[in-house]
Amino acid sequence: MGMRGLKPPPMILRRALRVVWPVLAVTVTVASLPVLVAGAVWSLVDRRARLFRATGLFLLIVWLDLQLLVGCWRLRLADPRGESPTWYVDHEELLGRVLDTAMALGRKWFGFEVRLDAVMDLGDAERPLVAFARHAGPADSIAVAWLLSRTGGRLPRIVLADALRWDPGIDLILTRLGSSFVPSVSGAGDDRLAGVRRLADTLAREDALLIFPEGENWTPARRSKLLRRLRESGHQARLRQAERLRNVLPPKTKGAVATLTARPDADVMIVAHAGLGRLTGARAIFDAIPFRRPFLVHTWTYAAPDVPREPAAIEAWLEERWLEIDAWVEGQHE
């Protein structure tokens, strides 16, 4: 997503962003109105109305994020100390409503339609669920989180890059919901796993944890760069593994190992999706609007006793699952 190497803002700037964001949202909206009007006029020529839809998508993101921020303010005003027994549930409901709105408008105006190709198995209701998902295409993390929430009633806690703290609405609500923001910069060492372990340790039986082991969206350029780096470094085994994967990046297994060793009681879901994964840049997304293919999701769910818990076995197991994801995506002719 272009987040690698971007440091999060310091706390004082995060708080300042929360205050000025409403003013910025209004300013951006006013500045975008001429483009929106031009897009509406141009739709007489471009029957797909791409400029109009793209501008509308941008404004939708701005105002939904503002809705998250204002909703968090209202919850704080109603409960200044955050001690209400419904504090956490209230924030879950707020995020769920915003996700519902985003998905409904995305489907209506941009053709972003999420479909399951088979019934989703959410595992044992008495056990927590850990979901490892492919990372590719526009809005895939939002779509997978929404699907887990609305299909199985498990709004997941998410592991995401701390560069997303530049977004004041996402920063505030996901912080309150206990999601983990991992360092976006390289060289962070074991600190990248501390938040993952915390989330794993605190999962209740009805909870889900969503992780994207690739760490960044798949693109042809990133795959080529990875292959080149592995050839130059002489890591032949990893190179062979990466060469076998055409539609996904090799999973980074440290987070999976930390999670699965911490929670041997958790069921595991593997999430594949296809349809929009080849839309790897702003131009490609613009040209594809409205999307003609659905965001098609396929899942495999494994009961806790069937998932290995030793580090080496977890790594091998996850690599096999990623081969299955790659083969499934290939079969969809994405």
Question: How far does CA 279 lie from the centroid of its chain?
Answer: 16
Q: Which residue has the tokens 């501008």?
A: 55
Is 246 within a domain?
yes
Is 4 within a domain?
no
Is 2 within a domain?
no
CB 156 within 8 A of CB 149: yes
Residue 171: other Cβ atoms inside 10 A? 25
From residue 147, alpha-carbon distances to 144, 152, 247 in Å are 5, 8, 22
How does DSSP assign 124-141, residue by residue?
Answer: -TTS-EEEEE---STTHH
Q: Which residue has the tokens 């004041």?
A: 168
Is 74 within a domain?
yes
CA distance 267 to 118: 19
CB 159 within 8 A of CB 212: yes
What pLDDT, on the 0 to 100 scale, is given for residue 183?
78
Is 129 within a domain?
yes
From residue 107, alpha-carbon distances to 136, 154, 291 in Å are 19, 22, 9
What pLDDT, on the 0 to 100 scale, is given for residue 187?
53
Extended strands (E) in the chain: 114-116, 129-133, 157-161, 180-182, 208-211, 267-274, 295-302
CA distance 14 to 53: 30
CB 275 within 8 A of CB 134: no
Mean pLDDT by 10 residues, the chain (334 residues): 71 96 97 97 95 94 96 97 93 95 93 94 93 96 93 85 92 93 63 83 90 93 95 90 95 94 96 96 94 96 96 96 97 91
Residue 322: other Cβ atoms inside 10 A? 25
List the CATH number of the domain containing 190: 3.40.1130
CA distance 47 to 208: 42
Is 1 within a domain?
no
Is 6 within a domain?
no
Is 213 within a domain?
yes
Nearest to 212 by CA among 150, 284, 148, 153: 148
Parallel, antiparallel, or unpaired: how do β-strands 157-161 and 208-211 relate? parallel
What is the number of structural domains in the chain? Answer: 1
What pLDDT, on the 0 to 100 scale, is given for residue 5?
62
Written as six digits, the tokens of 173 are 């609500």
Residue span of the structural domain in which 277 resides: 11-331
From residue 110, alpha-carbon distances to 50, 115, 288 in Å are 9, 15, 9
3-state secondary structure of 269: strand
